[in-house]
Structure 1
Amino acid sequence: MDIDWTEITSRNEKTFWGLLGLRMLSVDSSHVKLALTVNESHLNSMGIVHGGVLSSMMDQAMGTLVTANKNGQQAVTTNLNVTFLNAMRSGDLVVSAYPMHESQRSMTLRAEVHGEDGTLACIATATFLVPRDSKS
């Protein structure tokens, strides 16, 4: 099945994806790469990118990779583990997601966010479940 990523990203512009300001850079069954340009709304009161923004970036990238691997089916996050390593303040952030394990209805993945200078901001692992009533 060919997945229409243009249609999916266009539809996502009206969701949390669009609110965050995510952009799709690349997607295939082995790797997803998304980007976000930091603006003031992404910062917490300390002037650094809010951990929820970083976590959401990784969750979105891993969820997109599940869709790429499950013939367009969408999935829900059942577990998300995040480790924050370096504070980010500005510029472009890039999140990459990679598969770790896959079964018929679930996937476990890993993701990482880097700053434009290559600084590793955070890493995550997550497990996603394709609901029984999921439609392609």
Structure 2
Amino acid sequence: MDTNAVVDQAALRRMERAAKDTFWDYLGCQIESLDTEKAVVSFDIQPHHLNLIGILHGGVHASVIDSTMGLIVMLARPESSVVTINLNMNYVAPTKQGKVLVTANIIHSTRKLITAEAYARQETGELLAFGTGTFRVLDKAIPEKQDKGDSRG
């Protein structure tokens, strides 16, 4: 993973710990590159990503696009938590196999709302889906996730 020096490394480590054993982890998402301007996430299509007609499920697109936008938004506000309040999706082309790259960036930001856009493409560059999301900025930070072996309770 490439990260720009501007990225808050403590916030990034907090997010990586929070993602362990979550839906993000189940989907097989990997951060390819990350800085304050752009996030790139990838995953390799697996059988559990497919729908009943054998193509990548639209819900996988939506989840990874939402999560990639959320990642760049969380970096913009590391002292807060953010939640998706609106997600708009457009599905352009089907795919069955290979690696998918999702790129996200922020397009508008106010004190309490941030809007981002993201594009899902095959490694060849073919556009598969794109979306926009609006995120509400909450006044509390991402909670620290305790390790399963942690006895602090």
Structure 2 vs 1, CA of residues 90 and 72 (structure 1 numbering), >3 Å: closer, same or farther? Answer: farther
Q: Hey, what does 1:20 align to over in structure 2? A: 27
The 2-side partners of 1:44 and 1:82 are apart by 17
The 2-side partners of 1:26 and 1:72 are apart by 21
For the aligned residues, what is the CA RMSD? Answer: 1.5
Aligned residues: 135
Aligned partner of residue 99 in structure 1, secondary structure? strand
Structure 2 vs 1, CA of residues 51 and 126 (structure 1 numbering), >3 Å: closer, same or farther? Answer: same
The 1-side partners of 2:13 and 2:101 are apart by 19
Q: 4+ runs of 1 displaced by more than 3 Å? A: none
Query: What CA deviation, in whole Å up to 9, does each residue of 1:97-127 have, x standing for no partner?
Result: 0111001121001000001111100010110
Unaligned 5+ runs, structure 1:
none
Matched-pair contact (CA < 8 Å) for 1:13–1:19: no
Deviation at residue 71 of structure 1 after TM alignment:
2.4
Q: Which structure has the bigger radius of gyration?
A: 2
Unaligned 5+ runs, structure 2:
1-6, 143-153
The one-letter amino acid of 1:19's match is Y
Aligned partner of residue 77 in structure 1, secondary structure? strand
Q: Hey, what does 2:44 align to over in structure 1? A: 37
Q: 2:55 aligns with which of 48, 51, 54?
A: 48
The 2-side partners of 1:42 and 1:102 are apart by 32
Percent identity, please: 30
Matched-pair contact (CA < 8 Å) for 2:80–2:138: no
